[in-house]
Chains A and B, each alone.
Chain A
């Protein structure tokens, strides 16, 4: 029997899902908001369906003789959720119930019982433990892209109060060759002293999300010690997942209170704009461009940061910002999160394509986001279009770097 049943609040919620279906359709655009519902068709892939499976896993169907014994099928249903939180936002806002807590609780419990995660996620764990990144790439190549740029920079200093935490995706994704250099360029042009962490570890966010947090706790402790040893007061993240890991997950799992401030690139750049420390001119000098903004789940719904990226885009001359029908807390997920891209690549790609279609449908020529993982995933999906869509996908740091006057 699962220990999830000992969590009274979660069991309470599982029993009280009213099957109202508000978790499946956005109340403003009336478009679907749950990627797995749209792709997989069967009810077991929808939030209410997963809650019923959770109910069975804690033994509530024993009275009619139903037990779930095929763990591969159970895993498929729980791990095909991107953990985007669209259902959670809808449900929690008015009822206080959190489907995401249940889904995460089930993942953790299945991992603790050693029936989860899927094999591809176990590889992620090994990669992080042995290579310091889920991609399994050589750790010594982590900052290769910016070493030339920062080595001679007077702004890179061991005494700087700001640590730029680069993250794994910008370091290794082939889709983001300029992401880190663009962020460094922004720091340089605003005369911001910063440092980077030698032997920068993985934030472990993807392992937490795949339920493997107990297996990564020691690694996380060491990562936190590395960061604390620098004595920095502020950590800058361009990756919202890394941001959430250090701001929320580390305190929760390690029981520590951070003695540094975590700040996202969007908040950082937005503040610089407000303080007049940076001026932005035309993007790349190309004249008026229609841009739309994709709210990353980790930044938007899960961190409440919606306005700062829009403020940045709105400050760039020649950029006309238009919104997709599903935006802000109702944003359609890019399909990358929750370990889905690794375990269900076709589903992930289809979900990204849906987002691209939405951007194209409103006439945008640039799809901006503020998350390297979203950017990388969307670019992967765009590649399969073979140039059919004339859409440029950029991160906020790319747009800003191109617009620095």
Chain B
């Protein structure tokens, strides 16, 4: 399919979904293809596997199909392949235990020309960590799971990639500190989310203060790089916890790169003071405009360590667990009372010194209740409030019961002034599809909207999630057809995406795209790391 760009409209690059992915035209791709042929050579794989096992141990490297299969799907599957192409069977999986082993593994991959896809928790979405190129090596970083240290003076933690949000937060609180909040449950990690996928903590403060301080990265050649103050030799005797040091800030190079520029093996992450008081505010709005205005004003006044706006459908999936949603009468009752379709909700977590929390609470109440006509939310059951608090603070399990089907979701960063129109447009496309709730089929499928402030609240992360039954072909195909129109609508309205995807490369300005390619070539002359995701 030809690619074309018209004013305000972009057509995605169609990826050949045969047994091998095709990349963009050019000699670079020919090099990839010939190296793919080499990589697919089983004898090559056998030799590589022998060397890998010498590094990580017999039981931590494998080319058995049984060990490769678990890396081929995520919650977005099968629709995720619309973004990055069909999953391609890798050839080898390796589980290194530390940075030194990662270095050796990367060097072996270079030696045998085997492309690498790094993965940690496997909670990725949209195929971000699923190889779309044949003959690849999965580097599973789950064994790099140490919290190396928490420094109270600098309020930082040095962690490896497989440290979960929940675990670091729990550990930090023993030191009077806390981790940043991020939407969702306690699994998933900082490196994958805040570096590879370029996410941000969900409050205006998070938008200003990037939680990443320094990185230790294994470059695609196997060389080790440290950023920030740790770039100096003997950094341990100097200050090891400063981001801005020694010139250009290379942390930015790796953010949003999906691992294509290097594998992060350590990260120094900012922690924040754990407050003596923690409050959870819940507001209900009759209009999206009032919600957006409240987000705007609270964020300009720096209120809240965690701020999330959602619609009634999203709240429904958070506070109603599987058993509740399986009860049609209860569902109808809740939807006609507490969770009416037109409602929007804002949740703000406050934490800090008691007086500060009290002041912030009064400010939030004034903005939301008085100036923007909100009401305080009263959920009918204590467990619903608990689920909701867990969801907003990522310390609990709540997000788990949201996943009852496969998930179709997309997020983008949208200027505040366009969100209402965007949501209306997207809803007008989805509602006529007549999709049914996968748990309570007498009800329509919830169209879940999430709005999170980024960049001082001027840009909002806005996302839609729809559950679907992966076994229902009609359901799948219907949603599959929505990918292109959804992306086109987003881009035509000025949205941006925190990470880049190869199909969207054509809309970048040439100097930007060329710079990305140039950096890639410089860092990764053999095109080993994640060659199938970014340009």
Residues on A facing B (Cβ under 8 Å) = 11-12, 15-16, 18-22, 24-25, 27, 29-30, 40-44, 46, 48-49, 52-53, 55-56, 61, 64, 66-70, 73-74, 77, 90-91, 93-96
Across chains A and B, which 5 residue pairs bring their CB atoms closest together, nearest first? A18-B403, A49-B70, A94-B401, A30-B167, A43-B70
Q: What is the CA–CA distance of A94 and B319 in the complex, to the nearest angstrom?
A: 11
Provide the residues of chain B in CB contact with A91, threshold 8 Å. 400
Q: What is the CA–CA distance of A30 and B142 in the complex, to the nearest angstrom?
A: 15
Inter-subunit contact A73/B64 (CB<8 Å): yes
Inter-subunit contact A25/B164 (CB<8 Å): yes
Chain A: minimal CB distance from B459 (Å): 28
Inter-subunit contact A64/B400 (CB<8 Å): no
Q: What is the CA–CA distance of A56 and B89 in the complex, to the nearest angstrom?
A: 13
Provide the residues of chain A in CB contact with B400, threshold 8 Å. 18, 20, 22, 90-91, 94-95
Residues on B facing A (Cβ under 8 Å) = 59-60, 62, 64-67, 69-75, 86-87, 89, 93, 95, 121-123, 140, 142-143, 164, 166-167, 170-171, 185-188, 321-323, 326, 396-401, 403-407, 470-471
Inter-subunit contact A15/B406 (CB<8 Å): yes
Chain A: minimal CB distance from B182 (Å): 14
Query: Would A42 and B187 be within 8 Å (CB), given that A15-B471, A49-B70 are in contact?
Result: no
Inter-subunit contact A66/B65 (CB<8 Å): yes
Query: Would A30 and B164 be within 8 Å (CB), given that A73-B64, A94-B401 are in contact?
Result: yes
Inter-subunit contact A95/B403 (CB<8 Å): yes
Inter-subunit contact B67/A11 (CB<8 Å): no
Q: What is the CA–CA distance of A67 and B75 in the complex, to the nearest angstrom?
A: 22
Provide the residues of chain A in CB contact with B188, threshold 8 Å. 21
Q: Which of B66, B123, B187, B322 contacts A68 (CB 8 A)?
A: B66
Provide the residues of chain A in CB contact with B143, threshold 8 Å. 41
Query: Would A42 and B67 be within 8 Å (CB), given that A25-B166, A48-B122, A96-B326 are in contact?
Result: yes
Chain A: minimal CB distance from B227 (Å): 27
27 contacts between A and B (CB under 8 A): A12-B471, A15-B406, A18-B406, A19-B74, A19-B123, A20-B185, A20-B399, A22-B187, A27-B186, A27-B396, A30-B164, A30-B170, A30-B186, A40-B59, A41-B95, A42-B59, A42-B60, A48-B70, A52-B73, A55-B69, A64-B87, A66-B65, A70-B65, A91-B400, A94-B397, A94-B400, A96-B322
Chain A: minimal CB distance from B487 (Å): 23
Provide the residues of chain B in CB contact with A52, threshold 8 Å. 69-70, 72-73
Q: What is the CA–CA distance of A43 and B142 in the complex, to the nearest angstrom?
A: 9
Chain A: minimal CB distance from B122 (Å): 5
Chain A: minimal CB distance from B137 (Å): 14
Q: What is the CA–CA distance of A96 and B407 in the complex, to the nearest angstrom?
A: 17
Chain B: minimal CB distance from A108 (Å): 19
Inter-subunit contact B66/A21 (CB<8 Å): no
Inter-subunit contact A20/B123 (CB<8 Å): yes
Inter-subunit contact B69/A56 (CB<8 Å): yes
Additional pairs, 7, CB under 8 Å, beyond known A30-B167, A43-B140, A46-B70:
A19-B73, A21-B164, A25-B186, A27-B396, A41-B59, A41-B142, A68-B69
